[in-house]
């Protein structure tokens, strides 16, 4: 039987986050018996008391391509399902592994389901179809159907929704368009039941635009007695509300979206205009 796998998505530049991630992981998921795969470019690291398999990959031109690297990592995994996590999803309470096992059983019994998200994707009017306890169905043409939130995925289906030149942000924002012609079903946990993988979802995790989120990190540093140089990244507290993207960044972002989904980009332009001008 092929063992279950957890893929932790990271990069070499986030090596300083790994110690905190795994301290919390060991504290709050001590019974985890899944194979752990760390997806990064070139770095190798030994983690005390926890068996971590590092999958290294760099694109042929030497520049990191997030989508291509993630595809290579997933292709190297032989499991039917993968639990997808990111390095700044720092646990703050016990993982409910029994609920993850339930999701695996549901995936096994229902081949039309692509994913169960452990966080609520609340931007949509989700459907409570009462098929799976405490989960609801994301609409077929919903936003953020592709999402970096902690989740258990059918690995082969996830692979089909990733392209080589994707970035994490564009994949979430524009990538969902790729799912609209699919018959796959996407489920997320209901709002009041986000206790499967407890991390500070409201703050977006422990990192915001490359900086530490102090409200998340400081209590955990104290708990695990870690000496992290916060000056290296700086603190992001308060920036979540103040720091807006520049016009140049937005134009480049939409250009990337056009490269990803071509004229499907017009749907997102329409949705943004409708929201802004209440069309």
CA distance 136 to 117: 10
Q: Measuring CA to CA, which residue among 47, 43, 56 is closest to residue 21?
A: 47
pLDDT of residue 275: 66
Write out pLDDT tens, residues 71-114: 999 999 989 999 999 999 999 999 999 999 999 999 999 999 99
Between 3.20.20.70, 3.90.550.10, 1.10.10.10, 3.40.50.1000, what CATH number should domain 5-199 receive? 3.90.550.10
Using CA atoms in the order 188, 190, 191, 194, what is the torsion angle rounded to 10 degrees? -70
Q: Cα(222)–Cα(15) distance, rounded to whole angstroms?
A: 20
Q: Report the DSSP beta bridge partners of residue 85.
A: 8
Q: Predicted confidence band at 1 (pLDDT cuts at 50, 70, 90)?
A: very low
* Start and end residues for every CATH 3.90.550.10 domain found in the chain: 5-199
What number is the average pLDDT over the span 186-211?
A: 91
- In order of 73, 161, 196, 220, the CA distances from 68 in angstroms are 9, 12, 29, 33
pLDDT band at 270 (very low <50, low <70, confident <90, very high): low
Predicted TM-score (pTM) of this structure: 0.90
Per the structure block, which two tokens stand in for 58? 């760099």
- Cα gap 249→255, rounded to integer Å: 10
262 conformational bin, left if phi > 0, alpha if psi -120 to 50, beta if neither: left
DSSP-assigned letter for residue 226: -
Mean pLDDT of the chain: 90
Digit-coded pLDDT (tens) for 19-50: 999 999 999 999 999 999 999 999 998 887 88
Residues forming beta bridges with residue 151, ordered by sequence position: 84, 117
Of 215, 202, 185, nearest in space to 107 by CA: 185
pLDDT beyond 80 at 238: no
Confidence of residue 62 (pLDDT cuts 50, 70, 90): confident
Report the distance separating Cα 223 and Cα 95, nearest Å.
18
CA dihedral 154, 159, 165, 168 (to 10 degrees): 10
């Amino acid at each position: 039987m092929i063992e279950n796998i957890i893929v932790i998505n990271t990069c070499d530049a986030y090596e300083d986050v790994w110690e905190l991630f795994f301290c919390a992981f060991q504290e709050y998921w001590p019974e985890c018996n899944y194979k752990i795969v760390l997806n990064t470019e070139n770095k190798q690291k030994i983690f005390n008391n926890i068996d971590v398999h590092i999958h290294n990959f760099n694109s042929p031109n030497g520049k990191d391509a997030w989508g291509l690297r993630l595809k290579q990592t997933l292709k190297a995994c032989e499991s039917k399902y993968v639990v997808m996590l990111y390095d700044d999803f720092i646990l703050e309470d016990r993982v409910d592994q029994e609920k993850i096992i339930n999701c695996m059983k549901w995936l096994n019994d229902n081949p039309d389901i692509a994913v169960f998200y452990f966080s609520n994707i609340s931007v949509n009017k989700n459907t409570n179809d009462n098929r799976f306890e405490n989960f609801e169905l994301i609409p077929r043409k919903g936003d953020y159907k592709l999402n970096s939130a902690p989740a258990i995925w059918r690995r082969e289906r996830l692979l089909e929704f990733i392209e080589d030149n994707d970035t994490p942000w564009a994949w979430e924002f524009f990538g969902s368009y790729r799912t609209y012609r699919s018959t796959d079903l996407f489920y997320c946990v209901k709002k009041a039941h986000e206790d499967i993988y407890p991390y500070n979802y409201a703050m977006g995790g422990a990192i915001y635009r490359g900086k530490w989120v102090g409200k998340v990190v400081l209590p955990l540093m104290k708990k695990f007695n870690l000496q992290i140089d916060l000056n290296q990244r700086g603190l992001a507290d308060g920036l979540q509300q103040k720091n807006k993207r520049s016009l140049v960044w937005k134009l480049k972002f939409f250009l990337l979206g056009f490269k990803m989904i071509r004229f499907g980009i017009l749907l997102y332009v329409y949705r943004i205009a409708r929201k802004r001008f209440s069309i």
